[in-house]
Amino acid sequence: MSPNVIKMKELLTSYAAYNYWANQELCKKILALPQAQQQAVVSCSFGSLQGTVIHMWDAESIWWQRMKLLETIVVPSLSFHPTIDEAVQGLLEQGKQWLEWVRQASPPQLEHVFAYQNTKKENFKQPVWQMLLHSFNHGSFHRGQLVTILRQLGETRIPATDYIHFSRLKK
């Protein structure tokens, strides 16, 4: 293996572990809140903490299914109406699945170019490693939204979930 491929695998494994850890940290905080706060309608992209967590789970699940080349994509929130507990459980299970997959992935698997359709039925081809970076970055974006929602709800004790905090824990 070339040094670049080794570094890419290390980076993706670290990002997968970070994504899983950061989701766990914020989800613990969210689940500790009263149900009224979890579902409170606020000015944000997905209407509430619950709506944002559901969106995050949907997105990670969709990318997983695309990468696995499933013919029919099942969007979790369209197949049933998940509670916040179910959405958190689904998001964390999906994150764990990503982490285990990346840990075991070979360089050819990470470099594999796969074809998929987006939600607008447009066709694309991407290497798996680019999709992984996108998915983990997408999670970071929405964790930022969760923090903003928590602050709108008056929460002041919010866990730090920046990558640097995660990396310091690993030393």
Looking at residue 79, its pLDDT comes to 84
Is 55 in contact with 142 (CB distance < 8 Å)? yes
Structural domain count, the chain: 1
Convert the pLDDT of each residue in 1-28 to its tens digit: 555 867 999 999 999 999 999 999 999 9
Cα-atom radius of gyration of the chain, to the nearest Å? 17
DSSP 15: H
Element (H, E) at 116: strand 113-117
Measured distance CA(60)–CA(67) in Å, rounded: 11
DSSP 43: S
Structural domain range at position 91: 3-169
CATH of the domain at 39: 1.20.120.450
Compute CA distances 127 → 71, 84, 140, 158, 170, whole Å: 18, 32, 21, 35, 28
CB-based contacts of 108, cutoff 8 Å, min separation 6: none
As a whole-number percent, the residues of the chain with pLDDT over 70 amount to 97
Looking at residue 80, its pLDDT comes to 80
Compute CA distances 46 → 50, 152, 165, whole Å: 8, 14, 27
